[in-house]
Amino acid sequence: MRLWLSRSSEVPLREQLVTQIRLGILSGDLKARQKLPSTRELARRFRIHSNTVSAAYRELHRAGLVEVRKGSGVYVRGRIADPTLTGDHGLDEAIAKFFRAARANGHSLREIQTRLQHWLALQPPDHFLVIEPDPELRKILVTEIAEATNVPTIGADPDDQDRGGVLTGAVSLAMSSRIEAARAALPPDTDLMSLRSRSIPESLKGQARPPADALIAVVSRWPEFLRWARTILVAAGLDPDSLSFRDARERGWQRGLKSATLVIADSVMAHELPPGSVLRRFNILSDSSLDELRGLAQQFSESGTDFSL
């Protein structure tokens, strides 16, 4: 098997070495029990530090792809040792076979890269990405969107939204009040959808008014939710003295909740209330925003994206 290492690449040399040997094993270019070049030989051939080669071999050994025979060398393992890695190996094997077939048909790496980029660009989105700096609000928005659409949804701070490839295959979302800051943090050609918050009339619509003597607890880890709920409840004519606000970041927030007539919580805390609590959940996002996201999710489904994986 021939190896290539590029010092000008953004990919570390160790990773280049691991990937090529891994694909060689999974594609069959490197046969079971075949001896691999020694650490010293590879280091000398590519003029790299022997520690780089040793680290690559250690990673391949941990993955169950090679075995180290003391005093003899490094050999391709006869079979994949770790059954929990079957899914990853299956994808790698499919990729390896694709590259083998493409190269056997005379296609250059540049041709393959260009066509791959073309086909990747044609793939439908497979998740929502909520860009929001406030971590507590971010959790709430992710929960509301995932539950409303049944589409994988992740959140990111504007400063780290490009880490781990989260933008690939994403429909990016941000609250309308954060839209400009989010847009500034994204690559110029990235589409960004604005999310609208729920209005007070919308929040009160269809809600039965609690009795005058009701004790109402409001629970959230997001301070703005507590302030927002106070505004809504006071606007509904409730006595401020009958309201108990619980910051769930503080110890003992659950104390006495069972005696409350009603517990109002955000979408995250709705799943964390003590058993027996009488819950009324309030969403942050407006019905129109959630309906728009459901429509997008339907388009994903019709285009062939499988969200059950």
**25-34: per-residue pLDDT in tens?**
877 778 889 9
Residues constituting the chain: 309
- Is 95's pLDDT higher than 90? no
CB 144 within 8 A of CB 283: yes
Q: What is the DSSP letter of 159?
A: T
Predicted confidence (pLDDT) at residue 292 exceeds the cutoff of 90: yes
Range from 75-79, 271-275, 280-284 carrying the lowest mean pLDDT: 75-79
pLDDT for the residue 199: 72
Question: Of 154-158, 174-178, 211-215, 243-247, which range is least confident?
Answer: 211-215
Pairing state between β 243-247 and 262-265: unpaired
pLDDT at position 81, please?
Answer: 47
pLDDT band for position 205 (50/70/90)?
low
Q: What's the average model confidence in pLDDT over 198-211?
A: 67
Binned at pLDDT 50, 70 and 90, residue 309 comes out as: very low
Count CB atoms within 10 A of the CB of residue 15: 15
pLDDT at residue 82 above 50? Answer: no
The mean pLDDT of 248-266, rounded to a whole number, is: 91
**Which pLDDT does position 86 carry in this prediction?**
46
Three-state SS annotation for 3-60: CCCCCCCCCCHHHHHHHHHHHHHHHCCCCCCCECCCHHHHHHHHCCCHHHHHHHHHHH
Question: Does 304 have pLDDT greater than 60?
Answer: no
Distance CA 229, CA 170 (A): 31
The pLDDT tens digits of the residues spanning 22-69 come to: 888 877 778 889 999 999 999 999 999 999 999 999 999 998 899 999
The more confident residue out of 45 and 206 is 45
Look-up: residue for tokens 């999974």? 26
How high is the pLDDT of residue 220?
Answer: 96
Long-range contacts of 161-169 (CB under 8 A, 24+ apart): 161/129, 161/131, 161/185, 161/186, 162/187, 166/129, 167/129, 169/123, 169/125, 169/126, 169/127
Out of 38-42, 49-53, 211-215, 288-292, which region has the weakest mean confidence (pLDDT)?
211-215
Higher confidence at residue 8 or residue 42?
Answer: 42
Return the minimum-mean-pLDDT range out of 19-28, 124-133, 175-184, 239-248. 19-28
Distance CA 18, CA 60 (A): 7
pLDDT tens digit string along 149-166?
A: 999 999 999 887 555 567
Whether the pLDDT of residue 117 is over 50: the answer is: yes
What kind and span of H or E run contains 220? strand 216-220
Q: Is the pLDDT of residue 96 over 90?
A: no
Q: How many CA atoms lie within 13 A of 43 on its CB side?
A: 12
Nearest CA to 57 out of 74, 70, 41 is that of 74
pLDDT of residue 83: 41
State how far the Cα of 24 lies from the Cα of 97, in Å rounded to an integer: 10
* Predicted pLDDT of residue 22: 86
Cite the DSSP H helix spans in the chain.
13-27, 39-46, 50-62, 86-104, 109-122, 135-149, 179-185, 200-204, 223-235, 287-302
Give pTM, 2 decimals: 0.64
Burial string for 248-263 (b: 16+ CB within 10 Å, else e) reads beeeebeeebeebebb
Please give the pLDDT value at position 297: 87
